[in-house]
Structure 1
């Protein structure tokens, strides 16, 4: 498995240009199937960027990073992986199904982080093929955080394939959030994820949505920030979310959570509780 190592985070301009090129490649394209690992041995935290991320997601200030923030640090490597000629799928149009993060200890703000990204083997799904983009963060050569981003490449699918889903949740709302139309652009500025489906009504309509939609990772981060404010988060835990239905912007949504032993179940619904946008489970380690 080849490895590409960076001295600095790759720039988004060239990454997005390559992403468009990869999406437009010909149907008879045959990728390299050996896979690719990407490494960024030194990733320092920009405090202004971290503040902007906290502002848009709702995480409070403190001595440790928000649990979802390393996903933002790893995201340029995700783009690099999915736009590389070795990647077997066209990156634009891939559907984000789920995300699982494990934090093994609190993440200090002033550490030197080493990031490693690669993809899992593909597997069948009723709606196509799924795979995971796997991220790992180390401090002083110790793994402190991992992330599995589950993605779907749509095709005719395998009807007999199993779809691994979290159970449906029906939780009483503990908060109502009014989400403005510029939320996708604000999160894009803080995260680097400038997928056009999140930015403007017209750019989202070009991909079949009636208007722009919220980032799934914003919804996960905002949910965890709400749990943090309501009772705190453990030092070490695994938290998984499934993204069910797109969250259109602007909109009003309901957030609900409940303690289940030492863990937390949580969900995000539309204003009248008839559509589930996100379900999640948090379990301490």
Structure 2
């Protein structure tokens, strides 16, 4: 039977990340064991977390807009509700019933359905759940689904797809996955972005997503990265900010996260018209390696 736990307030990073570390395996530098592994049941819990009538802080919205590159408007940036739902997602994934440790999960895709603009004076309510645990050539995948409502009306929905590596299906799909990530001749850049070394800390401060792989080179190396990497959702937000004048009031946007952006970085951005919207890409400006591909389509 489905269970919904309604929280009195958003969980804080000070409690969430210690829970995440406790629920994952030890750091690779301390023990030579996989970072991810089974934490209990192999099934997703039939569990949701909810948060009601969240008051929006206009100053915080402005800070987020500046870090991501959005123009300041009366309506929220289309990715802003993701960071309000993120603490609920973390609370779900650090629950004792959740089958995987958080640290080491890879955010591979994100889909947002922006049903209508949400004003800074509105008070959205959130529900977050996990669903659709499935096999993947590199391991197992599942979706974390966040729904935002205002006065009972669904105004926004985000779906984040996570990969837990290990024990893949072995059906040849892994090779095809690698081929999709191989560098190809990128399209001509319409913008070149100099991504600073501190963008992980800046985005982490405004979003609450303080995963160690984004904050400092030393902490990133402790979790197997060569140096700190940019948040995938910062990169998605930054690409949508570049397209902000063209975004309709109601649209869906899908992105696939590819190779990480090692900080600092120089990233090339390109886009092209498509049926009902645009496609877009971000890739390494020097080597052409892909970081992100995506699109938006009017509803």
Q: Please, what TM-score do these two structures have when normalized by structure 1?
A: 0.94
Would the aligned equivalents of 1:2 and 1:34 in 2 still touch at CA under 8 Å?
no
Whole-Å separation in 2 of the counterparts to 1:54 and 1:23: 32
Inter-CA distance 20–74: structure 2 relative to 1 (3 Å threshold): same
**In the alignment, which of 34, 42, 48 is matched to residue 37 of structure 1?**
48
Give 2:8's aligned residue.
Answer: 7
User: SS of the residue aligned with 2:53?
Assistant: strand
Whole-Å separation in 1 of the counterparts to 2:210 and 2:247: 29
Whole-Å separation in 1 of the counterparts to 2:208 and 2:172: 34
**In the alignment, which of 103, 111, 116 is matched to residue 114 of structure 2?**
103
Inter-CA distance 158–136: structure 2 relative to 1 (3 Å threshold): same
Give 1:251's aligned residue.
Answer: 265
Give 2:164's aligned residue.
Answer: 153
Whole-Å separation in 2 of the counterparts to 1:34 and 1:213: 30
Matches within 5 A, 1:175-190: 175-190=191-206
Would the aligned equivalents of 2:44 and 2:133 in 1 still touch at CA under 8 Å?
no
Whole-Å separation in 1 of the counterparts to 2:196 and 2:260: 15
Matches within 5 A, 1:212-227: 212-227=228-243
Cα RMSD for the two superposed structures: 2.2
Question: Unaligned stretches of 5+ in structure 1?
Answer: none
User: SS of the residue aligned with 2:171?
Assistant: coil
Give 1:172's aligned residue.
Answer: 188
Give 1:50's aligned residue.
Answer: 61
How many residues are treated as equivalent by the alignment?
Answer: 283
Give 1:200's aligned residue.
Answer: 216
Whole-Å separation in 1 of the counterparts to 2:172 and 2:154: 33
Runs of 4+ in 1 over 3 A off after TM superposition: 24-29, 31-34, 161-170
User: SS of the residue aligned with 1:109?
Assistant: coil
Whole-Å separation in 1 of the counterparts to 2:282 and 2:20: 30
Would the aligned equivalents of 1:171 and 1:256 in 2 still touch at CA under 8 Å?
yes
Whole-Å separation in 2 of the counterparts to 1:278 and 1:183: 17
Whole-Å separation in 2 of the counterparts to 1:137 and 1:208: 34
Q: Following TM superposition, by how much is the alpha carbon of 1:70 offset from its aligned partner in structure 2, in angstroms? A: 0.2
Give 1:191's aligned residue.
Answer: 207
Deviation larger for 76-85 or 12-21: 12-21
Inter-CA distance 169–2: structure 2 relative to 1 (3 Å threshold): farther
User: SS of the residue aligned with 2:144?
Assistant: strand
Whole-Å separation in 2 of the counterparts to 1:69 and 1:146: 12
Q: Following TM superposition, by how much is the alpha carbon of 1:9 offset from its aligned partner in structure 2, in angstroms? A: 1.2
Would the aligned equivalents of 2:147 and 2:157 in 1 still touch at CA under 8 Å?
yes
Would the aligned equivalents of 2:114 and 2:155 in 1 still touch at CA under 8 Å?
yes
Inter-CA distance 21–257: structure 2 relative to 1 (3 Å threshold): same
Is residue 290 of structure 2 the alignment partner of residue 276 of structure 1?
A: yes
**In the alignment, which of 76, 92, 97 is matched to residue 103 of structure 2?**
92
Q: Following TM superposition, by how much is the alpha carbon of 1:242 offset from its aligned partner in structure 2, in angstroms? A: 0.3
Is residue 17 of structure 2 the alignment partner of residue 16 of structure 1?
A: yes
Whole-Å separation in 1 of the counterparts to 2:292 and 2:243: 15
Deviation larger for 206-215 or 217-226: 206-215
Question: Unaligned stretches of 5+ in structure 2?
Answer: 27-35
Whole-Å separation in 2 of the counterparts to 1:93 and 1:263: 34
Is residue 76 of structure 2 the alignment partner of residue 65 of structure 1?
A: yes
Would the aligned equivalents of 1:35 and 1:87 in 2 still touch at CA under 8 Å?
no
